[in-house]
Amino acid sequence: MDRLSKFFINSIIMILSVVAVGGHQMTVGEALSQRVNELLDEKGITQYRLSMLSGVPQASIGDIRHVRNKTVNIGLINAIAQGFGMDLATFFDSPLFRGENITD
């Protein structure tokens, strides 16, 4: 499966999860995980490459991607956003972070 197909499939899955009947609510950690995975696919980079670009250890990125943390430092999120070549406003500009989609 090529990257474009994979991106579209992941995008459709994300949209369906957010627009599910009755709404799909998630924790901030789950939304953060989905956003990082979405951007990795969109940018076509690996977790290792994001680690190199952001200066954030691979283990920390993996913890976010697999929702192993209850909280994440905003400085860490900022470094990850910078690794994706964006600021925090752009990183959080996603339906995943809308109030009606977040449970905590």
pLDDT of residue 86: 97
Would you say residue 9 lies in a domain? yes
pLDDT of residue 102: 85
pLDDT of residue 51: 98
Would you say residue 8 lies in a domain? yes
Would you say residue 55 lies in a domain? yes
**3-class SS of residue 23:** coil
pLDDT of residue 94: 92
Would you say residue 102 lies in a domain? no
At 1, list the tokens.
């499966």
Would you say residue 24 lies in a domain? yes
pLDDT of residue 18: 45
Would you say residue 59 lies in a domain? yes
**Domain span at 36:** 3-97
Surface-to-core class of residue 34, CB atoms within 10 Å of its CB (0-12 exposed, 13-18 middle, 19+ buried): buried
Counting the structural domains of the chain, the total is: 1
Residues of the chain falling short of pLDDT 50:
16-22
Question: Which CATH number do you get for residue 79?
Answer: 1.10.260.40
pLDDT of residue 70: 80
